[in-house]
Amino acid sequence: MNAARQVLYDGRVQGVGFRYSVKTIARGFDVTGWVRNLPDGRVELQAGGEADEVEAFLAAIRESALAVLIQKEEISIVPPPHGVRGFTITG
């Protein structure tokens, strides 16, 4: 079953290699999507794929060295992305 999640990360998540680290973690999972900085200092991630892969990917981010940088995580269900290949850094 395909699933997609949008995650907004708040904390010390810009200027510390957060997006690059997330992209590196994504290589270990069968997910597509992107991660980007937002003007308000948060980082937005969208990931799609099989539900268990998406959840495992998000858990891997939480359990990584990035955890100390994240103060708040808001997760929303979004429609699966169409026409997206791989996992990229945008914005």
pTM, whole model, 2 decimals? 0.94
Average pLDDT, the chain: 95
Query: 53: which residues sit within 8 A by CB, 6+ positions away?
Result: 29, 30, 31
Catalytic residue among 12, 36, 37, 42: 37
For 31-57, the pLDDT digits (tens) are 999 999 999 999 999 999 999 999 999
Does residue 16 lie within any of the structural domains? yes
Does residue 89 lie within any of the structural domains? no
Q: How far apart are CA 76 and CA 44, in angstroms?
A: 11
- What is the number of other CB atoms lying within 10 angstroms of the CB of residue 29? 19
Residue 2 annotated among the catalytic residues of the structure:
no
Residue 85 annotated among the catalytic residues of the structure:
no
SS3 83: coil
Q: Which domain holds residue 56?
A: 2-82
Q: Which two tokens stand for residue 53?
A: 């892969």
Does residue 87 lie within any of the structural domains? no
Report the number of distinct structural domains present in the chain: 1
CATH code, domain carrying 37: 3.30.70.100
Catalytic residue among 19, 27, 36, 85: 19
Does residue 78 lie within any of the structural domains? yes
Q: How far apart are CA 66 and CA 91, in angstroms?
A: 20
